[in-house]
Structure 1
């Protein structure tokens, strides 16, 4: 009984308030017309079958609304799991030219930020650089679709920041395989470059 009341607390409160208002009105207006007179007039209040039909209709409506809400909640959970399963996963890290067999233009090695797709295909991939640490003048055109193991190198300065200030350096814009758009930002902090979790793009 307690569990039932907890589940339908709002409905029980509404019904209780309605009965209280009716009872108060019945006492105040008693015998002023057929609506407020005992015994109840069936021509005004209806028969038992009429009231049974009303009660059945109310409980049916409550059940349908509850079922719809539960189904919607279940669908939302399944959809969220599905989106996580197809969400592209990127890595970002810095290497020097000696590790990728690129001859430096000077005696010192050049440095690159590597953006690598580890999991799931991605569509309409774009890069936006907003930091002087990246010295590429030309960025690739948007990729229509790429699969896992895709990687791209952006020539950059050596990451040598010594403070703990979080600095935004790069933005990835892409879609998953079903066309859901995302934005993912890369930052430098404590001499390390990292990607934050992607955010769904809202139009």
Structure 2
């Protein structure tokens, strides 16, 4: 267990006092330094010692005061950071995407499936500004197409349709395709965020992977 600084100071003082007493008895009557009664020319007068003790006590309490002020400052900084974080969370926009589940449709009974992924982008909670959406479609991990859309301001609960060109996949579901929506935006205070949403298929069913937003 770590020893408090006040205990360390007391221990150092006691150690110095013990060493002085030992030295006093060892060298008593051999040097003027340790001759009793003490020589004022060597040890100083009573007023000198009073000044030393007053200075030492003042220095100790000054140190304790500065230490307390530092602890208060650190605590205030922590409180400020917590308040700033809480405020950021209160104004932080978050986006969600909903997909039309009927977007995989047969072209013909024996041919490929046509995927026409109609996505609705919606700000769930707070206003976002400078919204940019980069849309990429992949088939078997190969990039097929890339689109982008932008919005100056995005209000909560008002969705916008993000439509991409249709593409074909095998009817048997062996083609693995996915679509990524990479969204960058600012909150009302100008703090920037990025978010990624992924749409992927399992056989011919669509599922969403929603990644948490990150601050830039």
Range of TM-score over shorter length: 0.5 to 0.7
The match for 1:184 among 192, 195, 198 is: 195
The answer to which structure has the higher strand fraction is 2
For structure 1, the residue ranges without an aligned partner over 5 or more in a row are 1-5, 99-103
Q: CA deviation at 1:131?
A: 3.2
Deviation at 1:172, TM superposition (A): 0.6
Distance 1:23 1:194, change over 3 A: same
Q: TM-score when scaled to structure 2?
A: 0.63
Q: 1:34, 1:186 → 2: CA distance?
A: 87
* Secondary structure at the counterpart of residue 138 of structure 2: coil
In the alignment, the residues of structure 2 paired with residue 70 and residue 37 of structure 1 have an alpha-carbon distance, to the nearest angstrom, of 53
- Contact 1:35 1:44 (C-alpha < 8 Å) held by counterparts: no
Gaps of 5+ in 2: 109-113
Provide the alpha-carbon RMSD of the alignment.
4.6
C-alpha contact 2:138 2:145 (8 A) present in aligned 1: no
- Could you say which residue in structure 1 is the equivalent of 2:80? 75
Distance in 2 (CA, whole Å) between partners of 1:37 and 1:83 is 72
Separation in 2, partners of 1:44, 1:168: 83
User: Which residue in 1 is equivalent to 2:111?
Assistant: none
- How far the C-alpha of 1:57 sits from its partner, in A, is 0.4
Contact 1:126 1:173 in 2 (8 A): yes
Of the three residues 123, 133, 140, the one matched with 1:127 is 133
Residue 197 of structure 1 pairs with residue 191 of structure 2: no
Q: 1:48 to 1:175 in 2, by over 3 A?
A: same
Superposed CA deviations along residues 26-55 of structure 1, whole A, max 9, x for unmatched, are 56x957999999977575894322122111
Residue matched to 1:145: 153
Q: How does 1:107-126 map to 2 (within 5 A)?
A: 110-126=116-132
Deviation at 1:132, TM superposition (A): 2.4
TM-score calculated relative to the size of structure 1: 0.66
- What SS class does the counterpart of residue 71 from structure 1 fall into? helix
CA distance in 2, matches of 1:14, 1:137: 67
Distance 1:144-1:14 versus aligned 2 partners, 3 A rule? farther
Structure 1 residues 136 and 115: alpha-carbon distance in aligned structure 2, compared to 1, 3 A threshold: farther
- 2:188 alignment partner, SS class: coil
Q: How far apart, in 2, do the equivalents of 1:131 and 1:110 lie?
A: 11
Q: Measured at CA, do residues 120 and 47 of structure 1 come closer, stay the same or move farther in structure 2, by a change above 3 Å?
A: same
Query: How many correspondences in the alignment?
Result: 184
